[in-house]
């Protein structure tokens, strides 16, 4: 993903990490067409501090070569120019104690210099990242470190993992992962849609799954509507199965037994729906889901109502973009305060189809 430069008027350094949602990135590629600046180095330091990988890319190498050829005349030596640029870049980073790989490239000659190594190493890191997560769960299982990791993996797979680990160690496990890494694409993905009663869970499912026909839609209403669990398959992708769950904290589904009542373990990931203000139940759901190491999205819905309320309240001072930005910031702040690090989406199921799922916090 391309991020704005650090320290611009719109992206000041003080709030840069927050503005770009630093936490959500697996690793960073820092691009510079001249000397690496103090800000480039700072990003590397931040990445290191948060144990994220970083690649420094010195681009437009073709221009350095043209310039040196012009300036040095007969003394010009392409290899020496490249080596110079490399040494200078390395010096800049090592002075700041940043020990990250450097790649010299030009997008005009994609098969020259370090371009191929960069692509190769970035791919390797992506795979390594996914691998690391899986290996950690597997190692937990083999050392019986946690019961949570067990929950996500079927009993059959658990005994296979333990056997392979005992016989062949982590390398054996890695081979098993490689052989099975695309298997998930053909398996149904069970997505739990949860949140407070009346927040708009069933409406979200209808919009997300493209359910319009009467009888096929999840029932929706102003009073408590969903009282049991029902699943809906997405139009256009029969591997996506969304489960319409009753609201948390109702008399029939009290918070204390909610996880058990909804059979929490069987879901692959969760979408928490919230309308208007962030509640204690939302924070509880987010923390609990992450504690069990399940993936989770936070969806703030009914944005159309907020827009219309704000337009009424502010009258001539109303600004739609500002209102959306305010809700976005508030949602993120509430999640941060609750220590829940999950992606946030702002939506409305009432707006026109092309706009309704387009807000991203």
Ligand X SMILES: Nc1nc2c(ncn2[C@@H]2O[C@H](COP(=O)(O)OP(=O)(O)OP(=O)(O)O)[C@@H](O)[C@H]2O)c(=O)[nH]1
Which spans of this chain sit near ligand X (rule: CB under 6 A)? 197-203, 220-222, 224-226, 246-247, 301-302, 304-305, 348-350
Nearer to ligand X, 106 or 281 (CB): 281
Tell me which residue of 118, 95, 96, 152 sits closest to 31, measured CA to CA. 118
Q: Which stretch binds Mg ion (CB under 5 A): 90-98, 123-131, 181-189, 221-229?
A: 221-229
The nearer residue to ligand X, 100 or 248, going by C-beta atoms, is 248
Q: 199 is in the binding site of which of ligand X, Mg ion, none (Cβ under 5 to 8 A by kind)?
A: ligand X
Phi, psi angle pair for 54, to nearest 5°: -145, 135
Q: Among 133, 128, 139, which Cα is nearest to 172's?
A: 139
53 binds, among ligand X, Mg ion, none (CB under 5 to 8 A by kind): none
247's contact among Mg ion, ligand X, none, with CB below 5 to 8 A by partner kind, is ligand X
Minimal distance in Å, beta carbon 233 to Mg ion?
17
CA-nearest of 286, 277, 334 to 305 is 277
The verdict on 250 binding Mg ion (CB under 5 A) reads no
**For residue 167, with 0-12 CB atoms within 10 Å meaning exposed, 13-18 middle and 19 or more buried, which class applies?**
exposed
Q: How far is the CB of 19 from ligand X (least distance, A)?
A: 27
State both tokens at 86: 């490399």
Taking CB under 5 A as the rule, does residue 59 contact Mg ion? no
Residue 202 has phi, psi (to 5 degrees) of -65, -40
Q: In angstroms, what is the minimal distance from the CB of 305 to ligand X?
A: 5
Instruction: Identify the residue whose tokens are 């840069």.
Output: 16
Per CB under 5 A, contacts with Mg ion among 158-217 are: 201-202
Q: Is 180 left (phi over 0), alpha (psi -120 to 50) or beta?
A: alpha
Nearer to ligand X, 81 or 203 (CB): 203
Alpha helices in 61-212 (DSSP H): 61-72, 78-95, 115-142, 148-151, 155-180, 201-209
The item of ligand X, Mg ion, none sharing an interface with residue 286, based on CB under 5 to 8 Å by kind, is: none
Q: Taking CB under 5 A as the rule, does residue 225 contact Mg ion?
A: yes
**Closest approach of Cβ 206 to ligand X, in Å?**
8
Long-range contacts of 87-92 (CB under 8 A, 24+ apart): 88/35, 89/35, 89/36, 89/56, 89/58, 92/35, 92/36, 92/41
For residue 241, the minimal CB distance to ligand X (Å) is: 17
Residues that bind Mg ion in the complex, under the rule CB under 5 A: 201-202, 225-226
């Amino acid at each position: 993903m391309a991020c704005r430069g650090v320290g611009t008027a719109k992206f000041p350094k003080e709030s840069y990490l927050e503005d770009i949602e630093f936490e959500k990135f697996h690793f960073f590629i820092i691009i510079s067409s001249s000397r690496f600046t103090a800000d480039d180095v700072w990003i590397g330091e931040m990445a290191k501090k948060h144990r994220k990988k970083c690649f420094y890319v010195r681009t437009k190498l073709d221009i350095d070569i043209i310039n040196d050829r012009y300036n040095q005349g007969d003394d010009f030596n392409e290899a020496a120019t490249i080596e110079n640029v490399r040494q200078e870049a390395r010096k800049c980073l090592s002075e700041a104690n940043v020990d990250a790989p450097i790649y010299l490239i030009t997008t005009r000659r994609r098969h020259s210099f370090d371009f191929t190594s960069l692509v190769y190493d970035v791919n390797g890191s992506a795979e390594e990242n996914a691998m690391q997560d899986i290996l950690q769960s597997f190692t937990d299982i083999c050392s019986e470190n946690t019961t949570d990791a067990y929950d996500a993996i079927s009993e059959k797979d658990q005994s296979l993992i333990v056997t392979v680990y005992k016989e062949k160690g982590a390398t054996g496990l890695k081979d098993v992962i490689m052989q099975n890494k695309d298997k998930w694409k053909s398996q149904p993905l069970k997505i739990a849609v949860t949140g407070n009663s009346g927040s708009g869970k069933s409406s979200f499912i209808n919009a997300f799954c493209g359910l319009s026909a009467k009888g096929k839609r999840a029932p929706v209403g102003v009073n408590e509507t969903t009282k049991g669990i029902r699943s809906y398959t997405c139009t256009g992708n029969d591997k996506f199965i969304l489960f319409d769950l009753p609201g948390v904290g109702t008399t029939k589904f009290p918070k204390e037994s909610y996880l058990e009542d909804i059979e929490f373990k069987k879901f692959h990931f969760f979408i928490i729906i919230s309308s208007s203000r962030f509640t204690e139940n939302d924070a509880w759901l987010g923390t609990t889901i992450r504690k069990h190491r399940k993936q989770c999205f936070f969806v703030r819905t009914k944005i159309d109502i907020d827009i219309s309320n704000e337009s009424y309240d502010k009258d001539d001072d109303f600004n739609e973009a500002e209102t959306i930005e305010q809700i976005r910031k508030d949602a993120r702040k509430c999640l941060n305060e609750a220590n829940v690090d999950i992606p946030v989406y702002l939506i409305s199921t009432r707006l026109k189809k092309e706009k309704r799922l387009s807000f991203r916090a």
